[in-house]
């Protein structure tokens, strides 16, 4: 099944939703214009479609495996990764000072989506490297930056995140791995880490493990966890690689999906590690990495949805079955003519585009926040991370499932490929923090902590868009009415949760996932409503009419069919806590 990168839609979002004028006027992006970005994304899209996407189904079939302690990736992965490195794609959004291209995050996000849509298993490797770069930039010493960043940014070395242990998944307070100080200032790391994505492979010269562990006498709980960098091969003073470190892969998981991506169990047996930043602040640093990774996993949700949509659309245009219900043909027609197949495909498309639009707006806030001295952008960016992660991954699972459904019986046959997306998607609402963990973050840290201020700021921004919609076409007005209703549900929910958050935490947190899904639905729909305004204006000018007409149609579908779900979520939160807590299991 071929894949085409959705570059047109990604560019529309960068131009119109991400706050591009503000981003392109930042000093470090001086002189960058949209045509440059278009050229970059077109080229990357072509590379991914031609070199990476064809490895997706064979990679799933072959799967990564371990033989005599050596992890074997599917055929073609190492070669494709070498091309990826050669072309410099790993450095797209990373600082020029470390060899990157220094492009804005909105561009990096677009590229991440494309790569993941082409091949999620492959994309996981660069994705984890991005996270390691982010953590080292934040908390690494100058010496550490100079040792590790250039090879990571180039892609010659890859990165991993080592948080989870058998007894410590969502709950990092339970981390037990130990770090004993050695005389030379380094540490000896001992413990078992599980679920380590690309924890062992030989596509790259070296792997840089970032590892959470406890120093002797550290406090229990999350306040006693430190972060260490543990290279697979020791790095010598001249930058060349020395002996292998005492960390080894003892097994590779047999998973439901993303089978080509090796998920390793790593044994640290007195491995040499180096403290990053201050002792006991590991979780703070890891959160920097995790925020980047969580946002990226949200992009994976959009990516798998896009891939599933493209595949289902192609099948629906090709498969001939049954006469149309309106009697317009006496013979069987392609199934895209059947109303329920339309409904499925439009829902897939609307959820995908809305998620993408929300992610683009978020990347814009992240870019501004990253420059510092932009407290509003920073608060919005922080608020959005659990939403992009939670909403877009839940949506990705749903869209992949609908993709199977469009295929009918063929969808259940593995060779068709739709089933792989359904399997691959299922990890997304789980790793880098389950949807419930995201929802707790959204409710606890991002909503209750500021008394709902950021949430209400977003509601006010949405109301501004409603005012613009009210002045536009009848279609825009209808979308505005739906948006206002959904915003009302959101505000009622925020009020309710803020009023009970401290006094009745079980009731409040029992509504946390409905709150996340409500907020995600609303904010994604808001971005589509903004898109509709842009598209109506463009249509008036006769620009890119097919694309703009489709964008308007998608925004309308979303407003009528998806935004109203917010009211059910509100009911669950404002009126459903009693029956939730009284439930018998």
For a second copy, the binding residues in 254-273 under the rule CB under 8 A are 254-257
Dihedral sign computed on CA atoms, order 405, 116, 384, 526: negative
488 binds a second copy (CB under 8 A): no
Could you say which residues in the range 339-368 bind a second copy, by CB under 8 A? 339-343, 345-346, 349
Whichever of 40 and 308 has its CB closer to a second copy, that residue is 308
| Chain-centre distance for alpha carbon 328 | 43
Distance of closest approach, residue 455 Cβ to a second copy, in angstroms: 19
Which residues pair with residue 180 across a beta bridge?
A: 188
Interface with a second copy (CB under 8 A), residue from 193, 426, 487, 496? 426
Whichever of 218 and 550 has its CB closer to a second copy, that residue is 550
Quick one: 246 exposed, middle or buried, by C-beta within 10 A (0-12, 13-18, 19+)? Answer: middle
Whichever of 377 and 387 has its CB closer to a second copy, that residue is 387
Tokens 């990157």 locate to: 100
Quick one: 511 exposed, middle or buried, by C-beta within 10 A (0-12, 13-18, 19+)? Answer: buried
Give the number of residues written for the chain.
Answer: 585
Could you say which residues in the range 524-563 bind a second copy, by CB under 8 A? 549-550, 553-554, 556-557, 559-561
Distance of closest approach, residue 439 Cβ to a second copy, in angstroms: 7
579 binds a second copy (CB under 8 A): yes
Contact by Cβ (8 Å): 179, 195? no
Whichever of 151 and 257 has its CB closer to a second copy, that residue is 257
18-26, 65-73, 102-110, 571-579 -> range binding a second copy (CB under 8 A) = 571-579
Interface with a second copy (CB under 8 A), residue from 22, 88, 102, 408? 408
Cα–Cα distance measured from residue 381 to residue 359, given in angstroms and rounded to the nearest whole number: 10
167 binds a second copy (CB under 8 A): yes
Total Cβ atoms within 10 A of residue 456? 17
Contact by Cβ (8 Å): 91, 155? yes
286 binds a second copy (CB under 8 A): no
Interface with a second copy (CB under 8 A), residue from 509, 522, 526, 533? 509
171 binds a second copy (CB under 8 A): yes
Q: Does residue 240 sit in helix, strand or coil?
A: coil
Q: What is the dihedral of CA 491, 493, 497, 499, to 10 degrees?
A: 60
Residue 468 is among the residues annotated as catalytic for this protein: no
Distance of closest approach, residue 515 Cβ to a second copy, in angstroms: 11
Whichever of 237 and 584 has its CB closer to a second copy, that residue is 584
513 binds a second copy (CB under 8 A): yes
Helices (H), 471-544: 474-500, 505-510, 512-540
Distance of closest approach, residue 344 Cβ to a second copy, in angstroms: 8
Pick from 542, 492, 318: nearest CA to 416? 318
| Residues sharing a CB contact under 8 Å with residue 340, sequence separation 6 or more, in sequence order | none
| Chain-centre distance for alpha carbon 527 | 17
Distance of closest approach, residue 19 Cβ to a second copy, in angstroms: 27
Quick one: 251 exposed, middle or buried, by C-beta within 10 A (0-12, 13-18, 19+)? Answer: middle
Could you say which residues in the range 309-338 bind a second copy, by CB under 8 A? 313, 316, 320-323, 325-327, 332, 336, 338
Interface with a second copy (CB under 8 A), residue from 170, 192, 371, 473? 170
Whichever of 24 and 121 has its CB closer to a second copy, that residue is 121
Which residues pair with residue 189 across a beta bridge?
A: 179, 271
Whichever of 80 and 127 has its CB closer to a second copy, that residue is 127
Interface with a second copy (CB under 8 A), residue from 140, 151, 510, 525? 510
Interface with a second copy (CB under 8 A), residue from 18, 112, 435, 527? 435
Whichever of 82 and 571 has its CB closer to a second copy, that residue is 571
DSSP one-letter code for 71: E
Cα–Cα distance measured from residue 269 to residue 133, given in angstroms and rounded to the nearest whole number: 25
Phi/psi at 186 (nearest 5 deg)? -85, 180
**Rounded to whole angstroms, what are the CA distances from 6 to 87, 110, 314?**
21, 9, 15
Whichever of 2 and 322 has its CB closer to a second copy, that residue is 322
Interface with a second copy (CB under 8 A), residue from 12, 431, 490, 526? 431
Whichever of 46 and 223 has its CB closer to a second copy, that residue is 223
392 binds a second copy (CB under 8 A): no
13-21, 33-41, 103-111, 509-517 -> range binding a second copy (CB under 8 A) = 509-517
Distance of closest approach, residue 47 Cβ to a second copy, in angstroms: 27
Distance of closest approach, residue 285 Cβ to a second copy, in angstroms: 21
Could you say which residues in the range 50-109 bind a second copy, by CB under 8 A? none
Contact by Cβ (8 Å): 359, 384? no
Q: How many residues bind a second copy (CB under 8 A)?
A: 91
Interface with a second copy (CB under 8 A), residue from 269, 414, 464, 543? 414
DSSP one-letter code for 321: -
474 binds a second copy (CB under 8 A): no
Phi/psi at 269 (nearest 5 deg)? -125, 70
Distance of closest approach, residue 265 Cβ to a second copy, in angstroms: 11
Name the catalytic one among 432, 466, 491, 536. 432
Could you say which residues in the range 136-165 bind a second copy, by CB under 8 A? 164
572 binds a second copy (CB under 8 A): yes
Q: For 531-553, give one letter per residue: b (16+ CB within 10 A) or e.
A: bbbbbbebbeeeeeeeebeebbb
Among all residues, which ones are annotated catalytic? 432
């Amino acid at each position: 099944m071929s894949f085409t990168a959705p570059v047109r839609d990604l560019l529309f979002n960068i131009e119109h939703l991400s706050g591009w004028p503000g981003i392109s006027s930042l000093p470090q992006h001086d002189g960058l214009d949209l045509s440059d970005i278009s050229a970059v994304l077109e080229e990357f899209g072509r590379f991914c479609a031609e070199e990476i996407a064809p490895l997706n189904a064979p990679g799933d079939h072959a799967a990564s495996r371990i033989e005599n302690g050596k992890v074997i990736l599917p055929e073609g992965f190492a070669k494709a990764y070498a091309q990826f490195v050669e072309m410099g794609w790993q450095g797209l959004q990373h600082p020029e000072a470390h060899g990157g291209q220094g492009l804005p995050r909105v561009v990096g996000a677009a590229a991440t989506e494309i790569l993941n849509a082409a091949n999620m298993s492959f994309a996981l490797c660069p994705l984890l490297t991005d996270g390691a770069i982010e953590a080292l930039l934040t908390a690494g010493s100058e010496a550490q930056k100079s040792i590790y960043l250039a090879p990571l940014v180039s892609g010659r070395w890859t990165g991993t995140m080592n948080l989870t242990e058998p007894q410590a998944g969502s709950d990092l307070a339970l981390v037990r791995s130990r770090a004993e100080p050695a005389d030379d200032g380094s540490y000896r790391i001992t413990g078992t880490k599980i679920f380590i994505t690309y924890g062992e492979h030989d596509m790259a010269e070296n792997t840089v493990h970032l590892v959470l562990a406890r120093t002797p006498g550290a406090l229990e709980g999350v306040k006693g966890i430190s972060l260490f960098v543990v290279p697979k091969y020791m790095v010598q003073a001249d930058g060349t690689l020395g002996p292998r470190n005492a960390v080894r892969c003892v097994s590779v998981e047999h998973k439901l999906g993303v089978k080509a991506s090796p998920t390793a169990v790593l044994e640290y047996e007195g491995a040499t590690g180096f403290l990053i930043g201050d002792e006991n602040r590991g979780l703070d640093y890891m959160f920097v990495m995790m925020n980047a990774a969580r946002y990226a996993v949200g992009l994976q949700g959009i990516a798998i949805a896009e891939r599933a949509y493209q595949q289902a659309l192609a099948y629906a245009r090709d498969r001939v079955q049954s006469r149309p219900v309106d009697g317009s043909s006496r013979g069987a027609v392609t199934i895209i003519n059947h109303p329920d197949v339309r409904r499925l495909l439009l829902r897939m498309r609307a959820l995908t585009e809305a998620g993408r639009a929300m992610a683009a707006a978020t990347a814009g806030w992240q870019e501004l926040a990253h420059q510092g001295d932009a407290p509003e952008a920073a608060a919005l960016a922080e608020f959005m991370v659990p939403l992009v992660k939670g909403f877009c991954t839940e949506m990705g699972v749903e869209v992949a499932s609908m993709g199977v459904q469009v295929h009918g019986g063929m969808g259940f046959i593995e060779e068709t490929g739709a089933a792989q997306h359904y399997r691959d998607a299922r990890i997304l609402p789980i790793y880098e923090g389950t949807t419930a963990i995201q929802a707790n973050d959204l409710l606890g840290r991002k909503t209750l902590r500021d008394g709902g201020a950021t949430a209400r700021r977003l509601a006010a921004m949405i109301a501004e868009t409603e005012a613009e919609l009210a002045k536009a076409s009848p279609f825009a007005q209808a979308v505005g009415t739906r948006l206002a209703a959904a915003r009302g549900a959101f505000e009622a929910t925020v009020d309710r949760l803020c009023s009970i958050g401290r006094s009745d935490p079980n009731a409040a947190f029992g509504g946390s996932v409905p709150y996340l899904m409500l907020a995600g639905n609303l904010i994604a729909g808001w971005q589509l409503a903004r898109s509709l305004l842009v598209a109506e204006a463009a249509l008036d000018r006769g620009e890119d009419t097919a694309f703009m007409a489709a964008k308007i149609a998608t925004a309308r579908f979303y407003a009528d069919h998806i935004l109203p779900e917010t009211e059910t979520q509100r009911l669950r939160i404002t009126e459903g806590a009693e029956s939730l807590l009284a439930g018998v299991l």
